[in-house]
Chains A and B, each alone.
Chain A
Amino acid sequence: MTYDSEQMTPKISDLISYGEAISPDTLVSVLSERFYNEPELDALPIVKDGYPYGLATRSKILTTLAIRFGFALYGKKPISVIADMTPMIVHIDESLNGVLDKAMARDFNDIYDEILVVDDEDKYVGRLSVKRLVVEQGNYLASSIAQRELAIARAKEMEKLDAVKTSFMAHITHELRSPIGAIIGFSELLQMRHNDGKRDDVPKYLSLLSSNAQNLRAIVNNILDLSKIEAGRMEIHSEEFSLCELLAEVLETCKVLAGDKPLQIEIDCPDPSIKLQADRIKTRQILLNLASNAVKYSDRGIIVISAEVTDQLHLAVKDTGIGIKKENLERLFTAFDQLEDAKTRRFEGTGLGLTITRQLIQLLGGAISVESTYGVGSRFDVSLPCTTKPKLKVAS
C-alpha cells in the first residue's frame, strides 16, 4: 500500500480491479445468465469506446428481473436499459478517504455499488469494491484509536443496512406467498366441492378467494409502483378535477376498509366548487395511502381527512390510532421497514405504503410531515404544488 506523502492517507490506485468490462449493447439475458452461473461476480462495468458508461450490479439486475417479472420485459433489451447509468466515477489520483466519504454519502441502496476509476483523459481504468475500500481504510485507521472508532461505526452502519435488506426479502417473500397459498388452497377446495357436490362452504370459499386475490393485487401493485418510481419511469399527468369529489371517493373506500370497526371517518372539504389542476391519480393514491393507514392502525375513534387550498394544496389525515413512538418516527418512511418485527407483527402489509407515498409526493414536488403521540394518534400533513380553477359563475 502506498500513501500520500502529506496526509499519509492510502491511495486508491493499489486497490483497483482490472477485470473485464462489457458493452452497453450486451443483452440483459446474457448478463443475467452470467450472474447466475458465476456467484462470485458482483458487478460488471459498462464501457463504451474506452469511456465509463454505466454499472451492472448483480443484486440490482437480478432484483429488477425478479420483481418486475422482468425476463419477458427486459431479457432481449440491451443492459443499458436497466443498469445504473450514473455510477460513481472517481479519478485514479483521489485519496482513499475522499473516495470512501463520497461512496458512503450515496443513497443507502447504492452504498455497496462498485466505483469506476478513470485516468487523466477520463478513460476507464478499472473498478473499486467499496467493501475492500472499507477494509483497507479500517486497516489504515487502526493505527489511530479515534479514527478506528469511526471505521467501526461505518462497518456497523453497513451491517445495519444489510440487515434491513435481508429482512425486506424475508418480509416481501412472505407477503407475496401468503395470499398465493390461500388462493391455491381455496381453488383446490372449490374443485373438491364441485366433485363431491357439497355446496355449504362454497360462498365462504369464494369470498375468501376473492379477498386474497385482491390483497395480492394490492401488494404486487405496491412493488411495481415502487420499482417504477425508483427507475424514474413514473410520469406526471396533470388534469382538472374536483377536490371534494376526490375526498368523497377516498372516504367511501375508507368506510369499506373500516368494516365493523367503531370508527367515525369524516372529510373536511373546502369550497365544493374548487377545481384543481394536478395529477389526480397520484393525489388520490397519496391521500388513500395515508387514510387507509389511519383506518388500519385505528381500532376506534375519529379519522379526519381534510384539504385546504392556498398557493398549494394541503392535505391532512388525523387519526386516534396506535400512534408512533418518537424514536421510530425517523424510520417511518424507510422502505420495507414496518415498525414491528415481521414474525410477530399484528398488521399485515408490505411496509411499502409510506415509502411510496413519500416518493410520489417528492415526484410531484411536495412535502410530507408527521406528528404523532404513541397510544394517542397521528397526523400526517402533505403539501403539493397545484393550480386552482375556481368555477366561473355563469351570468343568468
Chain B
Amino acid sequence: MTVQKTVLIIDDDESHLLTAKGIIEGLGFRVVMHNSPFRTTETVLKTKPDMLLIDVNMPALPGDQLCSLLRDEPELTSLPIYLYSSNDEDILRESAVKYQADGYICKGSISALRAKVQFELGFS
C-alpha cells in the first residue's frame, strides 16, 4: 500500500484554507492546514509535506518572503512550493521567480489548483 501524499497549506484566511483543503482532499490527498506565517518551518519539518501552498498576503511576514526563507532550509530545497494568492497574476509570476517558488496558483482558479497538485503529486 502506498503512503498517502500530503499537501500543507499556509494561509491566514479560513475561507481559503477550507476551500483548498476540500478540493485537494477531493483528489485523494491528505491536507494539513497552518493558519499563520509563524512557526511554519517547524510545521513543515514535522509534517514532511509533498507539496506546499503559501498565501502571500499575511500579517507580519508576506508568504513570498516566507517561501525564500523555507527554501534556505537544506531539507526543503526540492519541496514543491507554490504561492497561492488573490494578487495580480503578473505580480505572482514575478514573485514566484524572485522568491524561488516552483510556481503560483491564483485563488479561485479551481482547475489550476487541481492541475498543479496533480502535476506535482500525480493521481492518487
A residues adjacent to B (C-beta < 8 A): 169-170, 173-174, 177-182, 184-186, 188-189, 192, 201, 204-205, 208, 211-212, 342-346
Q: List residues of chain A with CB within 8 A of the CB of B26.
A: 192
From B2-10, B69-77, B83-91, B96-104, give the one contacting chain A. B83-91
- 3 closest pairs, A vs B, by CB? A185-B19, A181-B108, A181-B107
Are B88 and A170 in contact, with the CB atoms below 8 A? yes
Which residues of chain B in 47-104 are interfacial with respect to chain A, using CB atoms and an 8 Å cutoff? 56-62, 85-88, 91
Can you list 10 A-B contacts with CB-CB less than 8 angstroms, sorted by A residue number? A170-B88, A173-B88, A174-B85, A174-B86, A177-B106, A178-B86, A181-B19, A192-B23, A344-B60, A345-B57
Which residues of chain B in 10-25 are interfacial with respect to chain A, using CB atoms and an 8 Å cutoff? 13-16, 18-20, 22-23
Nearest neighbor of A343 in chain B, beta-carbon distance: B62
Are B56 and A188 in contact, with the CB atoms below 8 A? no
Are B15 and A185 in contact, with the CB atoms below 8 A? yes
Known: A177-B108, A208-B14, A344-B62. A201 touches B19 (CB 8 A): no
Q: List residues of chain A with CB within 8 A of the CB of B62.
A: 343-344
Partner pick for B56 among A201, A211, A343, CB 8 A cutoff? A343
Nearest neighbor of B84 in chain A, beta-carbon distance: A181
Alpha-carbon distance between A179 and B86 when the two chains are bound, in angstroms: 9
Are B108 and A180 in contact, with the CB atoms below 8 A? yes
Are B22 and A192 in contact, with the CB atoms below 8 A? yes
Judged by a CB distance under 8 angstroms, whether B110 is at the interface is yes
Give the dominant DSSP class at A's interface.
helix
Alpha-carbon distance between A173 and B62 when the two chains are bound, in angstroms: 17
Q: List residues of chain A with CB within 8 A of the CB of B14.
A: 208
Alpha-carbon distance between A343 and B62 when the two chains are bound, in angstroms: 6
* Shortest distance between the CB of B108 and any CB in chain A (Å): 3
Alpha-carbon distance between A181 and B11 when the two chains are bound, in angstroms: 14
Alpha-carbon distance between A255 and B86 when the two chains are bound, in angstroms: 30
Are A201 and B87 in contact, with the CB atoms below 8 A? no
Alpha-carbon distance between A211 and B91 when the two chains are bound, in angstroms: 27
Nearest neighbor of A204 in chain B, beta-carbon distance: B18
Are B23 and A181 in contact, with the CB atoms below 8 A? no
Chain B: residues with Cβ within 8 Å of the partner, total of: 27
* Shortest distance between the CB of A336 and any CB in chain B (Å): 15
Alpha-carbon distance between A179 and B22 when the two chains are bound, in angstroms: 17
Are A181 and B57 in contact, with the CB atoms below 8 A? no
Are A184 and B18 in contact, with the CB atoms below 8 A? no
Are A178 and B23 in contact, with the CB atoms below 8 A? no
Are A188 and B18 in contact, with the CB atoms below 8 A? no
Partner pick for B22 among A169, A189, A342, A346, CB 8 A cutoff? A189
Alpha-carbon distance between A275 and B20 when the two chains are bound, in angstroms: 52
* Shortest distance between the CB of A173 and any CB in chain B (Å): 5
Q: List residues of chain A with CB within 8 A of the CB of B86.
A: 173-174, 177-178, 180-181
Alpha-carbon distance between A208 and B109 when the two chains are bound, in angstroms: 18
Most A Cβ at <10 Å: residue of B56, B87, B88: B87
Known: A173-B87, A174-B86. A185 touches B20 (CB 8 A): yes
Q: List residues of chain B with CB within 8 A of the CB of A345.
A: 57, 59
Are B22 and A201 in contact, with the CB atoms below 8 A? yes
* Shortest distance between the CB of B109 and any CB in chain A (Å): 8
Apart from the given pairs A182-B107, A186-B18, 16 other A-B contacts in the complex at a CB distance below 8 Å: A170-B87, A173-B87, A173-B88, A177-B106, A178-B16, A181-B19, A181-B108, A185-B110, A188-B22, A201-B22, A205-B18, A212-B15, A343-B57, A343-B58, A344-B59, A345-B57
Are A185 and B87 in contact, with the CB atoms below 8 A? no
Q: List residues of chain B with CB within 8 A of the CB of A184.
A: 108, 110
Q: List residues of chain B with CB within 8 A of the CB of A212.
A: 15
Most A Cβ at <10 Å: residue of B14, B22, B59, B62: B22
Known: A177-B108, A185-B23. A344 touches B18 (CB 8 A): no
Q: List residues of chain B with CB within 8 A of the CB of A182.
A: 13, 15-16, 19, 107-108
Alpha-carbon distance between A382 and B85 when the two chains are bound, in angstroms: 38
Alpha-carbon distance between A179 and B19 when the two chains are bound, in angstroms: 12
Partner pick for B87 among A174, A205, A208, CB 8 A cutoff? A174
Q: List residues of chain A with CB within 8 A of the CB of B15.
A: 179, 182, 185-186, 208, 211-212
Known: A177-B86, A182-B19, A188-B19. A342 touches B57 (CB 8 A): yes
Q: List residues of chain B with CB within 8 A of the CB of A192.
A: 22-23, 26
Q: List residues of chain B with CB within 8 A of the CB of A177.
A: 86-87, 106-108
Q: List residues of chain A with CB within 8 A of the CB of B16.
A: 178, 181-182, 185
Are A178 and B13 in contact, with the CB atoms below 8 A? yes
* Shortest distance between the CB of B111 and any CB in chain A (Å): 10
Q: List residues of chain A with CB within 8 A of the CB of B13.
A: 178, 182
